[in-house]
Each structure stands twice: as C-alpha cells, then as structure tokens.
Amino acid sequence: MSVNLEKIREIFADYSPEKGNFMPLMHEVQKACGNWLPEEALKEVSKLAKMPLNKVYGFVSFYTMFSTEPRGKHIIRFCKDGPCAVKGSLVVAELLMKELDVEIGDTTEDGKFTLEETACIGTCTAAPAIMIDDEVYGNVTPESLNSILKKYR
Amino acid sequence: MKYNTKILSTENVLLKNIGIIDPLKIEEYVAKGGYKSLAKALKMDRKEIIDTVSDSGLRGRGGANFPTGRKWLFTYNAKADQKYLICNADEGEPGTIKDRILMEGDPQQLIEGMIIAAYAIGASKGFIYVRGEYRESIKTLRTAIAQAVEKGYLGNKILGSDFSFDLSVAEGGGAYVCGEETALIDSIEGKRGEPRLKPPYPPVEGLFQKPTIVNNVETLVNIPHILEKGAEWFRNIGASCSPGTKLFMLSGDINEPGIVETPLNISFTEVIEKFGKGVKDGEIKFAQIGGSSGNIFTPDMLGKVWTYERCCEFKVSYGTGSIFVCNDSRNVVDHILTVAEFFEHESCGKCTPCREGTHRVREILEKFAYGEGTVSDLELLKDLCLVMKKSPICGLGQACINPVLDAIEHYKSEILAN
Amino acid sequence: MSDKVKVTIDGILVNVPADFTVLQAAQLAGVDIPTLCYHPDLRNSGNCRVCIVEIEGMPTFQPSCAFKVWDGIKVKTNTAELRKARKMIVELIASRHNTDCLRCDSNMNCELQKLTDKMNLKEIRFEIQPDFEHPMDHSNIVQRDPSKCVNCGRCIRMCNEIQTVNALEWAGRGYEKMAMTTMEKPLAETACISCGQCINVCPVGALTERDDTEKAWAFIDDPEVHTVVQTAPAIRAGIGEACGLEKGYLSAPKMFAAIKKLGFDKAMDTNFTADLTILEEGTEFLGRVTRAIKDGATDVAFPMFTSCSPGWINFIETYYPEFLPNLSTCKSPQQMFGPLAKTYYAEKAGIDPSKIRVVSIMPCTAKKFECDRPEMNASGHKDVDIVLTTREFAKMIKTANIDFATLPEIKPDDPMGISTGAADIFANTGGVMEAALRTVYEIITGDALPALLNFTPVRGLVGIKEADITIEKTAPGFEWLKGVTVKVAVVNSTGNARKLLDAIKAGEKSYHFVEVMCCPGGCIGGGGQAKPTSWAIKAKRAASIYREDESRELRKSHESPAVAQIYKDFLEKPNSHKAHHLLHTHYFSKAHLIK
C-alpha cells in the first residue's frame, strides 16, 4: 500500500511546536498509513515538521504505540500486568493466539489482526481487559471473547 | 465504557457526578452546581486562591504528595512572559483507574479545576496530557473542552474577566515513564519522553523552558470543591495532617473490585473489608499499595491507618491509591516478577542504573521463579536494588525496586524456598 | 567581579563562580571524580551516573557533571555507599560491553578500561550481553561496532548539537535503547559527512575510522611501487601527541624522519600545495571580485567559500546544494598534491606514474572519503591512493618500534616539500583566510597584510568571526578597488556553518569570502587526531602551529620558491588551462540523502 503523502500534508498542516501536537498528529498519520509508519511517511513528517529524520525516528522508536513494521487492520492489545495477570489475562492471550493463529507481536495471515502485549490500560477493577483499536473491553472471559471478536471479523 | 466500574463508596465528593450526569452534556454539570467555583475564583485575588489551597492542606494525588499550594507559589512568583499548567493524566501505574474514571465520567470537573489553577498561577496555556491508550478519555475531554469554550468558561476573557486560558489535549504514545513530569514535558515538546535532570524544577523551568505546574487529575478535581466550601472544610475531612478524600481502587483477589472515595483516617484492612467485601477465595497474604512501584504491605501493615505523616516515618507510600490484593494462593515471587517485567519494558533507558538494572532485576527474579535462584543471587539482587534506590535520574528507577526490597524484607524465606 | 560561592567538597572548602557545576568545583578543590558521559566540549547530560555524588540535603545521588552548586553546598564524593554504587554502575556498563579488548582499536586508550581499573573491578556478576544483534557498520569511513557502545551519548550530542549533521540519535527504549544511525541505516546511506567528530568523543572503540594501515604497509613492502607521502599542516603539531608526547608537541623535521624510517620512499609535504592553493584560490577570488566590481556583473556567486575541508564539502553538498556555485573550484591541498605527484613529480623524477602511490597523512577522516571520490583522477590514475589519519600514522610508528622523541631532524624531499608559514596556519581555524589575505591583500594594495587584522565575533553567532577590510591604497591595476570594503568571515564546525548559511539565505549577512572548517577548531581538531581531545588540548595544538609559522623565514605563499618553480616549469600560471584540469574540481548535490 503506497503512502498517501497528500493526507499526511493535510494532517500536519495543523502542526506547530507551540501547540504541543506532534504526538497527536503522529497518531493520525499512523492511522492514515494503515496502523504503521513507513519510512516514506517519516520522511514526509520530517520535512513538514522541520524535524531532522533521525529525531523523528528516535521519537517513533521510543513509544510502544508506534510501529515501523506493517501491522494489521485491527490492533488487539491484552494487558499482562498484575491486576489483569491474576485474573487470567494470560489465558485470554493464549486463547487469542489459538483463535487467530498468531504469535504475540505478529499479524494474522489475512492481515486483519495484530496481537500485542500492552502495559496496564487502567481497567484493573474489571480485569482481565483487552483493547481492540480504540475500544476497551473489561471482564473478558473465554465466552465473551468470541462475541467481541465477531464484531471485527 | 464497555464494562462496569463499581463505585463502592457512597458519600462522595469527587465521584459524586460519575454515572449520574452525562459527561458529554455540559449543561448537566452546570445544573449540579458546576462552574460556580470558577465564577467565585475569578473575583478573588490570585494569591488568595493559592493561600486557600495551601491552607486546605491539599497534597498532590499522583503519588508524590507534594503540597499543592506550595508548588503553585513557585510558579506564581516566577517572572516569565509565559506560564503553563499541565494536567498529568498519563495514568500508567498498574492498578490505577481513578483518573480515567474522572476524565470519562466528569470531565468538566477537571476542566473547571484547571481553569482556576491556571488563573491562580498566571498560566494562559494549558495541556491535559492523556496517555495514548485512553482513547475514550481523549475524545471525551476534547468534546468537553469544545463545549466549555462555547459556553465561555474557556478561551478568551473567561466569564467577562481579563483572564484567558487556552486548553488542549496532548497525547501520550504508550510510555509509562511519561508520567514523570519532565518526561511528560519533553513528550509534549515532540521529543522522546526521557526525564530531565532536576534542578531546574518545572515550576521554574518546564515546558519550553517556561514556569510550568504539573498536577495530577485527582489533585485538580479537588480545586472546585475547595473553592466552593473553603479551606477549613477540606482540612476537617479525615486526619488533620492529611486532609481531604483520596480515591482508592481495589483490584486483584477482592470480592468487590471498584473505586472508593474515602478520607485517609481508615486502615487498608477496613477499606478491603468495608468497601471491597473482603478478600476473595482465601485469606489476605499481602497487598501492593500504590501500583507496581508501590510498597508491599503485610497483613499487619494493612491493619494500620496510613496518613501521609506515618508513611514518611516508615518510608512507605500509598502512592496513587491502588490496592492490589493477593490471597494466600499467590506466590510473592510471581508477583514481583510481573512487576519487574513491567519496569524492564517501561524504563526509558536514559540512565545506567535503571536501564541496566531493571533488566537484571527481571533476570534474577526469573531465576527464582524457575526455582534456580541462589542465596548469592538474592544478595546481588538486594545490592542492585539499593544502588537503584539512589542513583537513577527519576522516580521510575528509584521506586521500581521498592516491591522487591519489601519482598526481600518480609518474604525472604518464600523467595529462597523457590 | 563574578559572584563566588562557598562549596565544600569532602571537607575541602573552595570559592567558585556561582555557575559552576559540582564537578568543576571538585576539580578546583583537587578532588577527582570519575566520569564517562561527561565531555568538556559537550552539553552535560548526566545520564551515565558514574560521576554521582552525595549532596547534603538531597535524598538521592546527583550527577556532579551537571549539578550546579549553590552557596554553602556540602558534597561528599567518596563514601562507602557511593563507592559501591559507582562500582555497580561500571559493572553494569561492562556487562553490556564487548570485552574483546585485545583486538580493539581503543585498547590501552579506553575510558571504560580506565574506569574498571579505577574501580578495581574483579568480577562481573551479570551475564555479559553485548549488543551483537545490531550489525557492525563498515559502510562508510566512520565505522560502528554496537557491541562496544556504552550508551554515553557523546556521539549523538556531537553529531546533532555541534555538527548538526543529525546522522546519529537514540533509538528504542530501555534495555534496547542504543545510539543508532538515522532510521537504523548504514552510515553511508545517511547524511553522515565522515567528519569523525563522533570518533573523537567516543570513550571506547565503538566508533573508529576505516583502517588503511595494512594498505600502507603493502605499499611500503612492494618493491615495484614508489611511495610518496604528503603530510597535512596539522600533523607536525599532532603526531608527537599521538605518539604519547605532550599535547601540541611540534616537530616537522621528526615527522619527515618518521616517514622515512617507516620505509616510505619520499617524505614531501601537503604544505607545498597549501601554498599553491592560495595562489589558485586567490586568483580565483580576484577573478570573481573583478567581474563583480570592475565589470559590474550581477551573477557572481558571493560569498566564495573555501573548499579544502572535505567534511564541509560533504555538508554543503547534502544540506545546501544551492550554494555549490559559491564554493571555490580549487581542490584541497591534498587533492592538488596527488595529481601533481603523478604528473609533475613523475616527469621530473622519471618515474612511471602507474608505479607511484601517494599516501596522505591527515588529521581528518573525511579525507579518506575525498581521495575515494571517483572524479579525483586528473592524473589519469587515482590521484591520492590512501589517507592515513594521525592515529593510524602513530600506530604504524608504534608497530615499527620507532621512538618518535629520539628521531633525527630531517628536511622534506624535493620538489614538493618546500613551503611557507602561510601553509602551516591552514591547520587552524582562520588560518586559510589569513594565508589567503597575506597574498591577496599584497597583490591588491602592494602592502603587506597588517599584523593584527581586526576580526570580531559575529554578534549572536558564537564560533563565527568576521572582518571588514576597506581598501585604501591600491597597487597599479587595482585602482577600481579603492574604497571598496571586502567582507570576510571565518567559521568552524558545521553547526556554525549552518547558522551562517541560514543567515546568508535570510539576507541577514553577506560576505565576499568565507573560510569554513568542518571541525571545531579547524584541522587541529580533526576527526583523525589523537584521543582524547578537548578545546583545551586543541588550543595547545593551535599555539604550536602559530609558533611554527612565526619561526619561518618565508610566511607568504607567493614567496615560496617551489610554487614559483612549478608555475614556471609546469603549470604556466594560476588558473591556467592545465591548472584547471589538474587542480580544480566540481561538486555534486547529495541532497537525496536527506530526502
């Protein structure tokens, strides 16, 4: 999929350092590129933001929500930290791996889902929790998992 | 929210609107008395507001417990052409959900608190830095801000006064370390979120090198209430030396997980029993208070009342207020290994003791988890943790070893038995 | 009268300026604190935590390199707790380091070795895990070995903040964080200009230059081949230091002796072509001035930029290709020497040029890039075969068991060994400008250049200086220059060059002639010089160069008899057709590297 440079220019037209909006705009650029940031996109951002490319790459490689490798249409994140771990988040992860036939950190063959670990997502009283794209699902059970996935399949 | 968060307490101040009003309808907040405090504040002298907050005894609710009024005074006194107010909503401490609840359930309460704070310190620009994973909070806040601007509570010449305040939502990108105020500031500036050396401190030199106040969400939502009911009212809640209510969150082996608002003159055992309806599936073994960098409290310790002063005396902290309960089926080593994995992943990597230390702590604990740890491994682990307590640049490195040191102190035999 | 504050370090009371760091105060108090990421020429980063100290009243340890003192501050640098912490920190760094010291370029000159020795580190209790995942990068002159990186960040600070080349940066987070190239590409695919400043500040052997010493030995050992060595002006004040003698040790005669003792056939001197460059470039400059002022042409490219610094050439080709027409078309002295060795000298000596190997000894790493440029073949062969840095030269001297200090003093070989003091000062920032003016000023006015030229720092631009020279008296034929103010500037480090170019682009500044040196301090601060380096050390080297110039009988390039000879016998006159073919060049945009 080729990078839509016009869309990136549109997004970054709103950029200014004083607005402190580099990060939000990068999230938008990533979304526009299909959940990842190709080199071409980073080069365009470097030009538009007048930020040297090494700094753009350094920025992107620091934050876990960004990826410079292609990812799927939907990002599934499962929390592996304390409160979720004791409530069976690893069981949920294993179920997801089996159901989608994918390893943690990888994308399904059909390019639909990428499965990632995430740090605590603030749903600890409704553990275990997962995120799919922008949606948070709490109290996930093997039973509820199927109906959740159905919405995206 | 596609799940239910139970509010376990009933006499609430900060949580009183949650689940009652529609967060996306500003009129409902106003109907409940919202923005009256702002109107009152704008007629007050700015120093008077700061004095009120100081007199109230409010301490920062993000975990550091610094007196809020005193912090505001630094920035109030600083001479600069631009000052900033930042709300730290990078809630990343495992077990902590309070800021999300507040932002998604009652966003105008936070916004009102921020406007008052900004007016007091002299900040004309503000940001709410919300962690990147909190997509719903981000959307809710942006909508709420737009509504507040429309109604004249935000923006130019607020409510006909001379005060203008421009507020926007900044986003995180998935880095717990950005909860550290200087890392957060660098993140807003479009840089890697690596903490700065302090001093200089943000109230003097922060965002874009200008005086900046960084306050936690929970700290700021207290402000409208303090302005409304006065410093003395706040002072009289709970223990006089750590006044006001605190939000606690019960998770783990608890019958009723949820959020609790309570004054601090209560023991954790009481919170667990009274609000959480007791430990689930067994007896209490330990609880980690304040998130993954929080202390491990033995049943003995949980039975005590932990005011801020007592915490200082015993060198522990209740941090963000998360109460992660573990029953007697849980293994301490498994838990602190999970914690160690978290910190290894979240260390920013800037300084040697944290970058290398978090990795090595996890390595050694893994040995114990697989039953291969030795006495000399434990000694090395303790030495490493003691170095990490004092050498890293920021609180992440300094505090991440607290649970490990606590476990070594209270559960040494269990660790070695592994 | 600066504000002074009272600082107590380990019980020793000192009065220091109020803006001092604890480390600076400790130095005054005679207390040594070990450091790693600290470098006197770079912004204080305080990230390695080796220099941590205990400050009374602060609950955690603080980095002394970056912590500012206050009046009455009390510091302890060597408590039991601190010793333990420091040792553990060094142990942690060592556990991520490739401890294959025996085969490392920095063996015996390594700051990590010094630290482990200082801490008396006898065991590393963690599994040794160097970064073998990221590949070694041998794509360019500057070479990287990630398994040796200690994450100090000096190279990043140098590349981004001083040189503003932006080829290096942190990538990743936590344990995976490393000093990386842009987009983690090989350096040859980045904006890297091969200036080697990163190598100069690397405390260990993670960054080195391509080693060409084996090629040099092969030339020496090959009986079929005739080796001609040229040495940069900076070498005579750099090689002694690199051989372990005092900083700024000066000896051109011993330098020539070392070359002969190593087995090279001829020891000539880049200084010769430095003088030649002045004639060529001075003539070129006067040509532009004539066209613009006498003839009234409006398309003359001003300012004219000097072109002897290949790191600077790489920089302008990459970042400011629109200014390529402004560059002098003169090759650098190194690249003028090469073709002349294989034509002029070859003819004179009756040697087959295909059997000549020109070995150039330079304080510079970018010179290796320069000699490899495909267009540098005006002689019909590769004009300069290999370049050795000061460090490589010192290594060969060591390998050959030569004691530099006790070498005899000999003269350079003819016909390209004679030079003037104007050539010597090429090594210093401002030297090329002064050398050029010594000749051009005399040509225009008939008078010698005044001893003290009034250079003032450019306001708001540190590291850049400028001067206005108003022509009052004129020599015959230059009357049209009377009353004209010639504006010149001198710049060192590409970071400052960027500032100047931006100011010129914005119309804020304009000049006729600008000298640009890629490296901070000029060539004496080159990326191939002895390590460690600092402004204090560079000042010593620069002072030696000026001393050398002052000791000379001939100090103006146009007075060099060797230069007169080559024009008479071979080149005819400056900027002649033959001179153009052999001694001038053109440039190419490298802007694609940053697109």
CB B192 within 8 A of CB A58: yes
- Burial string for B379-415 (b: 16+ CB within 10 Å, else e) reads ebbbebbbbbbbbbbbbbbbbbbbbbbbbbebbeeeb
Residue written as tokens 């160097």? C130
For residues C177 and C251, state if they share a domain. Answer: no
Percent helix / strand / coil, chain C, rounded to 5? 40, 15, 45
Q: Is C281 a catalytic residue?
A: yes
Each residue's pLDDT tens digit, B112-146: 999 999 999 999 999 999 999 999 999 999 999 99
**pLDDT (0 to 100) of residue B1:** 47
CATH number, domain with residue A119: 3.40.30.10
A142: pLDDT confidence band, cut at 50, 70 and 90? confident
For residues C190 and C325, state if they share a domain. Answer: no
SS3 C547: helix
Phi then psi for B84, rounded to 5 degrees?
-125, 150
Each residue's pLDDT tens digit, C473-527: 999 999 999 999 999 999 999 999 999 999 999 999 999 999 999 999 999 999 9
Among A55, A119, A124, select the one facing B346 at the smallest CB separation: A119
How far the first Cα of chain B sits from its last, in Å, is 41
Domain-terminating residue out of C17, C49, C78: C78
Residue at C222 is within a domain: yes
**pLDDT (0 to 100) of residue C452:** 59
The reply to whether residue A61 touches residue C183, judged by beta carbons under 8 angstroms, is no
Residue at A49 is within a domain: yes
Closest chain B residue by Cα to residue A55: B191
CATH number, domain with residue C32: 3.10.20.740
Q: Angle between the B217-229 and B98-105 helix axes, to the nearest 10 degrees?
A: 60
For residues A90 and A40, state if they share a domain. Answer: no
**Closest Cα in chain A, distance from residue B408 (Å):** 19
Letter for the amino acid at C265?
D
Residue at A88 is within a domain: yes
A60 burial (CB, 10 Å; 0-12 / 13-18 / 19+) is: buried
Q: Is C284 a catalytic residue?
A: yes
For residue A69 the two structure tokens come to: 């490798």
For residues C436 and C368, state if they share a domain. Answer: yes
Residue C19 structural domain: 4-78
Residue written as tokens 């490493």? B384
* pLDDT exceeds 80 at position C407: yes
Q: Partners of C486 in the beta sheet? A: C469
Domain-terminating residue out of A19, A40, A62: A62
For residues A28 and A80, state if they share a domain. Answer: no
* pLDDT exceeds 80 at position C461: no
**Closest Cα in chain B, distance from residue C497 (Å):** 25
For residues C302 and C438, state if they share a domain. Answer: yes
- Residue-averaged pLDDT of chain C: 96
Q: Is C590 a catalytic residue?
A: no
Phi then psi for C484, rounded to 5 degrees?
-75, 140
Distance separating alpha carbons of residues C254 and B243, to the nearest angstrom: 80
Residue at C110 is within a domain: no
Q: Give, in order, the Cα–Cα distances in Å from A69 to each of A9, A72, B284, C57, C484.
A: 21, 10, 45, 48, 60
List all residues 6 or more positions away from B77 whose beta carbon is below 8 Å from its beta carbon: none
Among C61, C170, C175, select the one facing B391 at the smallest CB separation: C61
Q: How many CA atoms lie within 13 A of C412 on its CB side?
A: 23
* pLDDT exceeds 60 at position C454: no
Q: Give, in order, the Cα–Cα distances in Å from C270 to each of B366, C119, C236, C423, C593.
A: 62, 45, 11, 8, 31
Residue at C31 is within a domain: yes
Q: For residue B336, which of B277, B308, B295, B276 has the smallest C-alpha distance?
A: B295
Distance separating alpha carbons of residues C247 and C269, to the nearest angstrom: 22
- Burial string for B178-194 (b: 16+ CB within 10 Å, else e) reads bbbbbbbbbbbbbbbbb
The reply to whether residue C84 touches residue B387, judged by beta carbons under 8 angstroms, is yes
Q: For residue C119, which of C75, C89, C76, C149 has the smallest C-alpha distance?
A: C89
**Closest Cα in chain A, distance from residue B123 (Å):** 14
Residue at A53 is within a domain: yes
For residues C177 and C215, state if they share a domain. Answer: no
Using the Cβ of A54 and the Cβ atoms of chain C, whether some distance falls under 8 Å is answered with yes
CB-CB neighbors (< 8 A) of C46 in chain B: 197, 393
Q: Is C209 a catalytic residue?
A: no
CA B358 to chain centre: 22
For residues A45 and A90, state if they share a domain. Answer: no
For residues A55 and A80, state if they share a domain. Answer: no
Closest chain C residue by Cα to residue B377: C125
Residue A17 structural domain: 5-62
Beta strands A135-137 and C485-492, pairing class: unpaired
SS3 C121: coil
The reply to whether residue A62 touches residue C160, judged by beta carbons under 8 angstroms, is no
* pLDDT exceeds 70 at position C465: yes
For residues A43 and A11, state if they share a domain. Answer: yes
Q: Is C328 a catalytic residue?
A: yes
Q: Partners of B89 in the beta sheet? A: B130
The reply to whether residue A127 touches residue B136, judged by beta carbons under 8 angstroms, is no
Residue written as tokens 């090494």? A54
SS3 C41: coil
- Residue-averaged pLDDT of chain B: 95
**pLDDT (0 to 100) of residue C450:** 78
* pLDDT exceeds 90 at position A1: no
Among B92, B170, B188, select the one facing A120 at the smallest CB separation: B92
Q: How many CA atoms lie within 13 A of B364 on its CB side?
A: 24
**pLDDT (0 to 100) of residue C241:** 98
CB B342 within 8 A of CB A119: yes
CB-CB neighbors (< 8 A) of B123 in chain A: none
List all residues 6 or more positions away from A27 whose beta carbon is below 8 Å from its beta carbon: A65, B132, B171, B173
Q: What is the dihedral of CA B215, B216, B222, B223, to 10 degrees?
A: 20
Domain-terminating residue out of C209, C240, C266: C209
The reply to whether residue C52 touches residue B197, judged by beta carbons under 8 angstroms, is no
Residue written as tokens 């208070």? B289
Residue at C115 is within a domain: no
Q: Is C371 a catalytic residue?
A: no
Chains in contact with C, where contact means 3 or more Cβ–Cβ distances below 8 Å, are A, B
List all residues 6 or more positions away from C238 whose beta carbon is below 8 Å from its beta carbon: C363, C390, C524, C529, C530, C541
CB-CB neighbors (< 8 A) of C50 in chain B: 352
C108 burial (CB, 10 Å; 0-12 / 13-18 / 19+) is: exposed
Residue written as tokens 């103010």? C485
CATH number, domain with residue C313: 3.40.50.1780
The reply to whether residue B324 touches residue A82, judged by beta carbons under 8 angstroms, is yes
Which parts of chain B sit beneath pLDDT 50?
Answer: 1
**pLDDT (0 to 100) of residue C448:** 86
DSSP letter at C530 equals -
For testing the chain C interface, which of A43, A44, A53, A60 should be mutated: the one with the most C CBs within 10 Å?
Answer: A53
For residues C257 and C164, state if they share a domain. Answer: no
The reply to whether residue C88 touches residue B355, judged by beta carbons under 8 angstroms, is no
- Burial string for C119-151 (b: 16+ CB within 10 Å, else e) reads beeeebbbeebbbeebeebebbbbbbbbbbbbb
Using the Cβ of B355 and the Cβ atoms of chain C, whether some distance falls under 8 Å is answered with yes
For residues C216 and C195, state if they share a domain. Answer: no
Q: Which of C54, C111, C241, C281 is catalytic?
A: C281
* pLDDT exceeds 90 at position C595: no
CB C278 within 8 A of CB C437: no
Q: For residue B379, which of B391, B387, B390 has the smallest C-alpha distance?
A: B387
Residue at A68 is within a domain: no
Letter for the amino acid at B403?
P
C19 burial (CB, 10 Å; 0-12 / 13-18 / 19+) is: exposed
- Split into its structural domains, chain A has a count of 2
- The continuous run of DSSP H or E covering B245 comes out as strand B245-252
Residue at A69 is within a domain: no
- The continuous run of DSSP H or E covering B265 comes out as none
For residues C201 and C257, state if they share a domain. Answer: no
List all residues 6 or more positions away from B232 whose beta carbon is below 8 Å from its beta carbon: B55
Peptide bond connecting C457 to the previous residue in cis, omega within 30 degrees of 0: no
Closest chain C residue by Cα to residue A48: C595
- Split into its structural domains, chain C has a count of 3
For residues A46 and A90, state if they share a domain. Answer: no
DSSP letter at C294 equals I
* pLDDT exceeds 50 at position C322: yes
Distance separating alpha carbons of residues C280 and C292, to the nearest angstrom: 19
Map out the domains of chain B with their CATH numbers: 26-235 (3.40.50.11540), 245-327 (3.10.20.600), 332-417 (1.20.1440.230)
Q: For residue A137, which of B1, B93, B97, B131 has the smallest C-alpha distance?
A: B1
The reply to whether residue B349 touches residue C85, judged by beta carbons under 8 angstroms, is no
**Closest Cα in chain A, distance from residue C174 (Å):** 9
CB-CB neighbors (< 8 A) of A61 in chain C: 171-173
Domain-terminating residue out of C179, C209, C239: C209
Q: Is C370 a catalytic residue?
A: yes
For residues A144 and A78, state if they share a domain. Answer: yes
Residue at A20 is within a domain: yes
CATH number, domain with residue C171: 3.30.70.20
User: What is the average per-residue pLDDT within C225-235?
Assistant: 98
Q: Which of C139, C198, C523, C557 is catalytic?
A: C523
CB C306 within 8 A of CB C281: yes
Letter for the amino acid at C375?
E
Residue at A50 is within a domain: yes
Closest chain A residue by Cα to residue C169: A54
- Burial string for B254-266 (b: 16+ CB within 10 Å, else e) reads beebbbbbbbbbb
Q: Please report which residue ranges of C516-593 form alpha helices under DSSP H.
A: 535-550, 561-566, 577-583
The reply to whether residue B97 touches residue A122, judged by beta carbons under 8 angstroms, is yes
Q: Which of C375, C508, C550, C572 is catalytic?
A: C375
For residues A139 and A110, state if they share a domain. Answer: yes
Residue at A32 is within a domain: yes
Q: Is C110 a catalytic residue?
A: no
The reply to whether residue B387 touches residue C88, judged by beta carbons under 8 angstroms, is yes
SS3 C348: helix
For residues A34 and A78, state if they share a domain. Answer: no
* pLDDT exceeds 90 at position C462: no
B247 burial (CB, 10 Å; 0-12 / 13-18 / 19+) is: buried
List all residues 6 or more positions away from B1 whose beta carbon is below 8 Å from its beta carbon: A136, A138, B104, B136
The reply to whether residue A65 touches residue B132, judged by beta carbons under 8 angstroms, is yes
CB B55 within 8 A of CB B144: no
For residues C199 and C219, state if they share a domain. Answer: no
CB-CB neighbors (< 8 A) of C171 in chain A: 57-58, 61
**Closest Cα in chain A, distance from residue C515 (Å):** 26
Q: Angle between the B375-390 and B352-369 helix axes, to the nearest 10 degrees?
A: 150
Q: Angle between the A22-32 and A39-49 helix axes, to the nearest 10 degrees?
A: 150
Using the Cβ of C176 and the Cβ atoms of chain B, whether some distance falls under 8 Å is answered with yes
Whole-complex ipTM: 0.96
For testing the chain B interface, which of A19, A74, A86 should be mutated: the one with the most B CBs within 10 Å?
Answer: A86
Residue written as tokens 């500032």? C499
Each residue's pLDDT tens digit, A79-136: 989 899 889 899 999 999 999 999 999 999 999 999 999 999 999 989 899 999 999 9
